[in-house]
Structure 1
Amino acid sequence: MDIESVRIHQLGPDDWHRFRRIRLLALAEAPYAFASTLAWAEARTEYDWRDLLAARTQFLATTGDHDLGTVGAVAENTGAHLISMWVAPKARGTGVSDLLVGSVVDWATAAGHSGIHLEVSDGNAAAERLYHRHGFRRTGVAGLISPEDPRLEFEMRLTLPANP
């Protein structure tokens, strides 16, 4: 795959079917990386998916007719929160993940956020290396993924330059 052919699209509520498709792929392929479950996502209605996309900024990486990966971001009191990052196995190691993270950094910078935080699950070394490459560092905050999922996740943060 030629990284020059990859395009990043910002999804809106009318793109709910595209987001649903890639989110289900992500949850089926890498359930260890998310607090959500495939069964929970499959039960969501069209309205649920549209509402989700209205409440966040979601990016989709594509080449031709192929969806390669996705990442989301939400604005919070503490800055931007990078969420729902996933890249298809065939596109890993190609630079697609860097394009997706870069899209969130660009979005957060343009929106005037002071920083971006995220959580990475314990043992997901490839994801942690990706975020580290973009300047994210562990904050020392760790916790359980959810009350139903006792695995640990670690917070990472990137401080963004102040806008003039």
Structure 2
Amino acid sequence: MGAIMISMDIESVRIHPLTPDDWARFRDLRLLALAEAPYAFASTLSEAQARTDQVWGQILTARTQFVATVDGRELGTIGGVPELGAAHVVSMWVAPEGRGTGIADLLVRTIIDWAAAQGLPTLRLEVSDGNGAAERLYHRHGFRRTGALGPISATDPRLEFEMRLAL
């Protein structure tokens, strides 16, 4: 069954940061993302389901996580983690009904603006090999492959490649 596209004006999209107190909202959105697009993430749904409430709060303490909403409905998310003088883009996802609406572009622009405001000169991220839609999204915003390629994790041999954007 295909996703139902929502009718919306891109101007109706609101993007705002989550706080550690928003851990339950982030947890629910992340579990939805992992269930819907397991191919796109290094972590798994079962790993995320096993996290305690405290861990979810700690995740939001260690990163800046944005959420995109339309009429109060959460349709996407993207996170940024400062590390070694750069920003690592994490947890990017848009609900199927929000794809093709411009939400993904707004989220990527938001994380680029966040990194620039933090004085971080570079953003980096990983894309699972074969996820052409994600690569095209990031490429539109200036990210380029670095040549780094490796397994998603020690327990997941699928390949992912790194992309970077210099600000």
Q: Which residue of 1 aligns with 2:133?
A: 126
Structure 1's consecutive aligned runs of 4 or more residues displaced over 6 angstroms after TM superposition are none
CA-based RMSD? 0.7
TM-score, normalization: structure 1?
Answer: 0.96
Return the alpha-carbon distance in structure 2 between the equivalents of residues 149 and 36 of structure 1: 9
1:113 is paired with a residue of what secondary structure? coil
Provide structure 2 residue ranges, at least 5 long, that are not aligned to the other structure.
1-7
Cα deviation, residue 78, structure 1: 4.4
Corresponding letter in the other structure for 1:55? A
Q: Which residue of 1 aligns with 2:93?
A: 86
Return the alpha-carbon distance in structure 2 between the equivalents of residues 105 and 22 of structure 1: 21
Corresponding letter in the other structure for 2:91? S
Identity %: 68
Provide structure 1 residue ranges, at least 5 long, that are not aligned to the other structure.
none
Q: Which residue of 2 aligns with 1:148?
A: 155
- Is it true that 1:25 corresponds to 2:43 in the alignment? no
Q: Which residue of 2 aligns with 1:138?
A: 145
Cα deviation, residue 65, structure 1: 2.0
Matched residue count? 160
- Is it true that 1:36 corresponds to 2:36 in the alignment? no
Corresponding letter in the other structure for 1:140? G
Q: Which residue of 1 aligns with 2:56?
A: 49
Residue deviations 1:43-99, cap 9 Å, x none? 111101000000000000001121000011000114000011000000001100011
